Every structure is written in structure tokens, then in C-alpha cells.
Structure 1
Amino acid sequence: MLLTLAWGSLFFPGLFALCTWGLRRARPEWTDYDCVMISTRVVSSAQAVFATGSGIAIIRSCKNVVTDRHWLAQEYVWFLIPYMVYDIYAMYLCDWYRIKEQNRRHSLIIFRNFLSKNRLMITHHVAILLVLVPIAQRFRGELGDFFVGCIFTAELSTPFVSLGKILIQLKKQHTLLYKVNGILTLTTFFSCRILLFLFMYWSYAQQKDISLFQVPFRIPVFCNVANAFLIAPQLYWFSLLCKKAVGLFDTPPAEKDG
């Protein structure tokens, strides 16, 4: 546990610092905000790859979705804790550089604006640390590694979201790559962050040989509550992605006529 926490505490900030240093040397014309923002997205994508890989390994090894165990189901959570702490700081750092380049507002004002602007994401991260981590590591006992693996695979959409942000920052949002990436973002987000919950309920139904509609009444109430808590922000973020996608493919009339 302690060794995994230490590795996570070194890896994520270290990768961020290395990326930022490399971008500043490779692209001296970029602003500090450009380098920091892109580095943040690279680290997020790296974490997503690790999480998705861990999740797939867990899912493939757990034939019994309730009782089978896999060491990654607990070990990767310890690796994830430092990332959640780092990511909150990285989000603030991006805001700090962005606003500092626009004006010289006081750091306290920047911090208050950061809390206001990112309250949903911060709440999401804090809830994972204070609620989901204790559930995953202690309260569930030795049951449900399969479902922990499923939750890990929700990160599959993150690299595509990150690439979209990077392309916007580089003013490449009118390229074919950006449009293809937008389609992949919507597809992976919907599959791995929304349909994922249906898949977990279906897997339990198959294991217990019951109807899918019986599952919510056969599992503990806190499981339904936890799933509702997890899927609610995903539905909100997916609605935002859909709005962006509509704008992406909605060509202005003047361009259509031309």
C-alpha cells in the first residue's frame, strides 16, 4: 500500500514536470499556460491508460462477478489516490497561468474563481477520495472486484477528451482530426461511462440467473445509491459533449450556400 502510494505520488507530478519542461524547450514560442495545460492532459491520458488496462485485466480474470479477486482491484486504487490530489492542483495551476496571462488579479481571487468554475469536478474528485476509496478498499470486504474493474474502464474516454482540449488550445478545432476525435469522444464516453452501468447490472443478472430488472432489488441499497451518484455527473457531462458536437457539425448557412 505505502509503496504504491509513494509511486503514485512520484509518478504523476514527475510526469507533469517532465512534460512541462520538455514542451518549454521544444516549443519556446508557446506560453506557460499552453505548456502546463497540455502537460496536464498528457498526465490525465496516461492515468486513463493505466486505469483502463487495469480494469480490463480485472474484468477478464473475474469469472464470478461477485466473489472472484484480482490484486489490481485494490492496488490500483492506492495508485489513483495521489493522482486525484495532483489533478485538483493541476487544474488550479492551469487556471492560475491562464488568468495571470490575461491580467494580474490577486491569487485569492483566482482561487475563488477556480472553486466556483470547477465546483462539480472538485466535488467529484473529493467524493472519490472520501467516499468511493473507503468503499473500494474496506467496506465492500472481499466482494466485487469485477465491478471495481468496470469502474476503472470508465477512463477510456479521457484520452479523447484530452486530445480535443489540446487541439482547441492549438486552434486546430476545424481539422478533420478534431471532428473524428469528437466522434470517438462521444462513442467512448457513452459506452464506458453510461452504458457501463447497464453492463454491470446485466453481468450480475447473468451470474445470478435473474432478469435484468430484478437486479436493483437484489443488490444492497447502497450499491444503487453509489451507482446513481456516479452516473449523475456523467449524464451532465455527456449532455455538454453533445451540445459541443452539435455545434461542431452545424455549418453556418453562409458556408453551406457558398
Structure 2
Amino acid sequence: MWRVLVSGAVLFPGLFLVFRKTLPVVFRRWSDADVVLVSERLVSSVHAIMATTAGIIVVSSCRENVITNRHWLATSFVLGYGVPYMAYDVFAMYLSHYYRFQVKGHEDYRGHSLRTISLFVRKEFLLVLHHIALLTILLPITLFFRKDQGDFFIGCLFLTEISTPFVSLGKILIQVGLHDCWLHKVNGCMVLLSFFLCRIALFPYMYWVYGEHYGLPIYAVPLHIPLYANLGNVCILAPQLYWFILLCRKGYRLYLRQRSTNHQDLTSSPHAKAE
């Protein structure tokens, strides 16, 4: 188990360093902020693909009995790759935040300090809280409190990462100047669809599956499971709902902007002027 933990602790910072050294060779005009942002998103995508693969394996292996069926990945992946990634990602997000504001010329970002860390925590409070909650809630539940039961549901939680590669791809397309291409629009739809299905609808689905196992209606399931399980689900689901609302608002603004641009193009065309 410790070997897996060490491999995870080496893998993600190592990939981040490799991307950070390689990208400036390919994209010579990118600033440090550009390089760090894209490196962070690429590593996030790698972790998401790993988590999704692990989730599919665990869920498909434990469908027969969602309470007692076991798969070693349910525990090993959380400890070996989930914990190191969450710890790494907080640091990578801080670097991305730091270089982004340094490039903009903010006086507070002339060097790393407690103030820059404090500004980062204030700016990205919800994301930092989300990572801390996963480390302090999901990890203890996975390792100690579930009594070797519920691997199926741990696998389901891994599947929440399905939307991450699409989110990352959207940011990378913007970074390389392809925000107006058809791929960015299609990817935006995939972000909303995957985020809703795997980060929001997944939770009532898990309650429904649990109810089916015990012959309970879905509304009775919260009273049948431990309080810590309900609290853990709420702590994970609440920020997902907030972020989904932000994604919908952003998508709606982009739609209005595109519609306005198309309307201006039509009214300014020679054919329209001739009429």
C-alpha cells in the first residue's frame, strides 16, 4: 500500500514538472501563467482518466451486491492516487493563481509569501474547501468507517471525474486561441452534460440503488444510512450544484454573445445593405 502511495506522490508532481518544462519549447510565446495553467489542466485530465477507469472497474465488479461486493481498487486508488493528487492539486492551483496575477502586474505578486497564499485561499476558497473536505471526509470514510462495505458507491464517486477532461480541454482551447471553433462549442455541451450526469444526478442514483438493494423508496434511504454518509454526500454535492449553475450561466452568456455576433454579421453583410 505504501508503494502505491509513494508512486502517486511522485506521479502527479512529476507530470506537472515534465509539462512545465516541455510546453515552453513548443509554445515559445506563452507566459509562465499560460504554461502553469495548461500543465495543471493536463495533469488533472490524467488523474480524471485514471479515476474514471478505476470507477468503471469497481462499479462493474460490484453490481451483484452493492453493499458487500469488494474490489481492491476502491481503497487502493483513494489512498494511493486520490490523496496525493488532492494535495498536489492545491499546490498547482496556487501556482496557477500566483502566475496569473503576476502577469497582470499586481504588486502583491512580486514573490511568494503568506499574503499571496492568503489571497489565493480567499479567491479560490470553495475549491480549496472542496479538496480539504475530500481529504478529511472521503478518506476517513473510505478507509475506516464503512466497515469494508460499499465499494460500489466508492466507485461511483470516482466517476464524478468524468467531466474533468472536458473542463480542462475547454480551458486549453481558450488558451491556444480556439475559443470560437466548433470543437469548443461541442466541448462546452459535453461539459454541461457530463457534469450534470456524473456530479449531480449520480447522487440520487446512488440513493436509488441503495434503496433497490434494501427494498426502500428513495425518500426513505437518507433515514436508513449513517448520518456521516449523508453529511459526506451533502458536502460533496453542494459545491457541484454551485459550479453547475456557474457553468450554465457562462454557457448562456456565450450563447448570447455568439447570437449577437451572428446578428451583427448578417446586418453588416453586403446583401443586407443592398436590401
TM-score (norm 1): 0.95
Return the offset for 1:145: 0.6
Instruction: Flag the 1:43–1:253 CA change in 2: closer, same or farther, 3 A.
Output: closer
Within 2, Cα distance between the matches of 1:21 and 1:247? Answer: 35
Residue in 1 that maps onto 2:65: 64
Aligned position for 1:119: 125
Count of matched residue positions in the alignment of Structure 1 and Structure 2: 258
118-127 vs 94-103, which deviates more? 94-103
Q: Would the aligned equivalents of 2:137 and 2:232 in 1 still touch at CA under 8 Å?
A: no
Verify the 8 A CA contact 1:95 1:110 in the aligned structure 2: no
* Distance of 1:215 and 1:38 partners within structure 2: 42
Report whether the alignment pairs 1:155 with 2:161: yes
Q: Which residue of 1 aligns with 2:31?
A: 31
Question: Cα gap change, 1:194/1:254 in structure 2, threshold over 3 Å: closer, same or farther?
Answer: closer
Q: Which runs of 5+ in 2 are unaligned?
A: 267-275
Aligned to 2:269: none
> What secondary structure, in the 3-state scheme, does the structure 2 residue paired with 1:64 have?
coil
Task: Give 1:98 shift.
Answer: 1.5
Match status 1:137 vs 2:143? yes
Deviations 1:4-26 (CA, angstroms, capped at 9, x unpaired): 11000110001111111111112
CA displacement at 1:248 relative to structure 2: 1.6
**Structure 1 position 42, deviation (Å):** 0.4
List gaps (5 residues or longer) in structure 1.
Answer: none
1:185 pairs, out of 185, 188, 191, with 191
Letter in 1 for 2:89: D
Q: CA deviation at 1:238?
A: 0.2
Alpha-carbon distance between aligned partners in 2 of 1:189 and 1:135, rounded to the nearest angstrom: 24
Query: How do 1:67-86 and structure 2 match up within 5 A?
Result: 67-78=68-79, 79-86=81-88
| Structure 1 consecutive aligned stretches of length 4 or more whose deviation exceeds 4 Å | none
Question: What residue in structure 1 maps to residue 173 of structure 2?
Answer: 167
Q: Is the CA contact 1:179–1:248 (under 8 Å) kept in the aligned structure 2? A: no
1:86, 1:188 → 2: CA distance? 24
Q: Which shifted more, 248-257 or 209-218?
A: 248-257
Normalising to structure 2: TM-score of the pair? 0.90
Please tell me whether the aligned partners of residues 12 and 86 of structure 1 are also in contact (alpha carbons under 8 angstroms).
yes
Deviation string for 1:184-216 (max 9, x for gaps)?
A: 000000000001011101111221222222222
One-letter amino acid matched to 1:191: L
SS in 2 for 1:66: coil
Tell me, yes or no, if the aligned pair for 2:59 and 2:152 is still in contact at 8 Å.
Answer: yes
Measure the CA separation in 1 of the matches of 2:116 and 2:240.
Answer: 27
The answer to whether the Cα contact below 8 Å between 2:94 and 2:117 also exists between their aligned partners in 1 is yes
Q: What residue in structure 1 maps to residue 18 of structure 2?
A: 18
Q: Distance in 1 between matches of 2:93 and 2:194?
A: 23
Does the 8 Å contact 2:133/2:235 carry over to 1? no
1: CA distance between counterparts of 2:43 and 2:155?
21
Could you tell me which residue of structure 1 aligns to residue 89 of structure 2?
Answer: 87
Residue 240 of structure 1 aligns with which residue?
246
Tell me what 1:101 maps to.
103
CA contact (8 A) 2:33 2:99 kept: yes
Percentage identity across paired residues of the two chains: 44
Q: Which moved more, 1:210-219 or 1:8-17?
A: 210-219
Shift of 1:252: 4.9
One-letter code of the match for 1:16? F
Q: CA RMSD in A?
A: 1.4
Q: Is the 8 A contact 2:67 2:149 kept in 1?
A: yes
Shift of 1:254: 6.1
The amino acid that maps onto 2:102 is K
Give the stretch that moved more between structures: 245-254 or 47-56.
Answer: 245-254
Q: C-alpha distance in 1, partners of 2:92/2:4?
A: 21
Write the letter of the residue equivalent to 1:177: L
Q: Please give the residue correspondences for 1:188-227 in structure 2 after superposition, counting only pairs within 5 Å.
A: 188-227=194-233
Supply the distance in 2 between the matched residues of 1:200 and 1:254 (Cα, whole angstroms). 43
